[in-house]
Structure 1
Amino acid sequence: MAELNRRQLLAAALGAAGTLAVGSGVTRELWPLLGREDLVPGRTPQVALQEGAWTRAADRLTFAAVGDTGSGGRQAMAVANRMAEGYRDAPYGLVTHLGDLCYYGSVEDRFDDVFTRPMRPLIDAGVRFELAIGNHDGELHHSDESLAEIDAELRLLGTPARHYTSSHGPVDFFYLDSSTPGLFGDDSSEQLEWLDDALVSSQNQWKVVCMHHPVYSSGAHGSTPGADEVLEPLLARRKVDLVLSGHDHHYERTRPQDGVTYVVSGGGCKTTPVGRSRFTASAASALQYLHVDVVGDRMTGRSVRADGRVLDRFELRAREGR
Structure 2
Amino acid sequence: MRALKLSVQAAVVLAALLCLPLAAQDAARKHEPNTRVPAGVIRFSPSVFPDRIVASPEQDASTGFSVAWRTSAQLDAPLLQIVVAGDSPDMGVPREIASSSRELRTENGLARHHRADVDGLQPDTLYAWRVQGGGTWSAWHHTRTAARAEAPMTLLYFGDTQNKNTSLTTRVIREAMRHAPDARLALFAGDLVSGGDGEDDNEWGEWFEANESLPTSMMVAPAIGNHEYFEEFEDTPRERRVLGAHWPLTFSLPGNGAAGAKGTTYWFDYQGVRVAVIDGTSALDLGTASAQAHWLDGVLGANPHRWSIVMTHQPFFSPRDGRDNVLLRGHLLPVIRKHRVDLVLQGHDHLYGRRAGDAPTPVFVVSVAGAKQYRLSREARETMRPVAEDTQLFQVVRIDGTRLRYEARTATGCLYDAFELLDDGAAGKRLLEVQEGRIAERDCPRAQTLKGRSDRCWE
Which TM-score band (shorter chain)? 0.7 to 0.9
Cα RMSD for the two superposed structures: 3.1
Query: Higher relative contact order by CA 8 Å / sep ≥ 6: 1 or 2?
Result: 1
1:117-160 alpha-carbon deviations (Å, 9 max, x no partner)? 11112134x211111100111047888996351x5223212223
Instruction: Give me the whole-angstrom Cα distance separating, in 1, the residues matched to 2:266 and 2:424.
Output: 23
Q: Which secondary structure state, in structure 1, belongs to the residue aligned with residue 203 of structure 2?
A: helix
Corresponding residue for residue 319 of structure 2? 218
Instruction: Give me the whole-angstrom Cα distance separating, in 1, the residues matched to 2:275 and 2:247.
Output: 20
Instruction: Give me the whole-angstrom Cα distance separating, in 1, the residues matched to 2:340 and 2:233.
Output: 33
Indicate which of 214, 219, 229 corresponds to 1:128: 219
Worse-matched range after superposition: 203-212 or 229-238: 229-238
Instruction: Give me the whole-angstrom Cα distance separating, in 2, the residues matched to 1:102 and 1:155.
Output: 15
Counterpart AA for 1:130: A
Instruction: Give me the whole-angstrom Cα distance separating, in 2, the residues matched to 1:136 and 1:287.
Output: 19
Counterpart AA for 1:129: V
Instruction: Give me the whole-angstrom Cα distance separating, in 2, the residues matched to 1:289 and 1:141.
Output: 33
Q: Which secondary structure state, in structure 1, belongs to the residue aligned with residue 386 of structure 2?
A: strand
- Write the mapping of 1:260-299 to structure 2, written as runs, cut at 5 A: 260-275=362-377, 276-285=380-389, 286-299=391-404
Instruction: Look at both structures and tell me which one has the larger radius of gyration over its CA atoms.
Output: 2
Question: 2:350 touches 2:368 (CA, 8 Å); kept in 1?
Answer: yes
> Is 1:147 aligned with 2:238?
no
Instruction: Give me the whole-angstrom Cα distance separating, in 2, the residues matched to 1:174 and 1:205.
Output: 14
Corresponding residue for residue 46 of structure 1? none
Choose between structure 1 and 2: higher helix proportion.
Answer: 1
Deviation at 1:271, TM superposition (A): 1.7
Question: 2:231 touches 2:240 (CA, 8 Å); kept in 1?
Answer: no
1:160-210 alpha-carbon deviations (Å, 9 max, x no partner)? 33111011111000000111x435753322111111111111111111000
Question: 1:250 touches 1:274 (CA, 8 Å); kept in 2?
Answer: yes
Q: Which secondary structure state, in structure 1, belongs to the residue aligned with residue 225 of structure 2?
A: coil
- Write the mapping of 1:59-70 to structure 2, written as runs, cut at 5 A: 59=150, 60-70=152-162
Deviation at 1:230, TM superposition (A): 2.1
Question: 1:213 touches 1:247 (CA, 8 Å); kept in 2?
Answer: yes
Change (3 A) 1:164 1:6: closer
Indicate which of 174, 177, 185 corresponds to 1:81: 174
Corresponding residue for residue 328 of structure 2? 227
Deviation at 1:219, TM superposition (A): 2.2
Q: Which secondary structure state, in structure 2, belongs to the residue aligned with residue 307 of structure 1?
A: coil
Question: 1:220 touches 1:248 (CA, 8 Å); kept in 2?
Answer: no
Worse-matched range after superposition: 255-264 or 206-215: 255-264
TM-score normalised according to structure 1 size: 0.76
Corresponding residue for residue 302 of structure 2? 201
Q: Which secondary structure state, in structure 1, belongs to the residue aligned with residue 242 of structure 2?
A: helix
Question: 1:70 touches 1:101 (CA, 8 Å); kept in 2?
Answer: yes
- Write the mapping of 1:2-151 to structure 2, written as runs, cut at 5 A: 7=37, 51-52=142-143, 56-59=147-150, 60-71=152-163, 72-88=165-181, 91-104=182-195, 105=197, 107-114=200-207, 116-124=208-216, 126-139=217-230, 147-149=242-244, 151=245
> Is 1:162 aligned with 2:256?
no
Question: 1:241 touches 1:319 (CA, 8 Å); kept in 2?
Answer: no
1:219-255 alpha-carbon deviations (Å, 9 max, x no partner)? 2454423333222221111111110000011111112
- Write the mapping of 1:293-308 to structure 2, written as runs, cut at 5 A: 293-308=398-413
Show structure 2 runs of 5+ residues with no match.
1-28, 42-140, 255-262, 429-459
Corresponding residue for residue 102 of structure 2? none
Question: 2:160 touches 2:350 (CA, 8 Å); kept in 1?
Answer: yes
TM-score normalised according to structure 2 size: 0.55
Corresponding residue for residue 453 of structure 2? none
Question: 1:99 touches 1:133 (CA, 8 Å); kept in 2?
Answer: yes
Counterpart AA for 2:277: Y
> Is 1:238 aligned with 2:339?
yes
Instruction: Give me the whole-angstrom Cα distance separating, in 2, the residues matched to 1:84 and 1:216.
Output: 29
Choose between structure 1 and 2: higher strand proportion.
Answer: 2
Q: Which secondary structure state, in structure 2, belongs to the residue aligned with residue 147 of structure 1?
A: strand
Change (3 A) 1:76 1:86: same
Change (3 A) 1:129 1:142: farther
Aligned length: 278
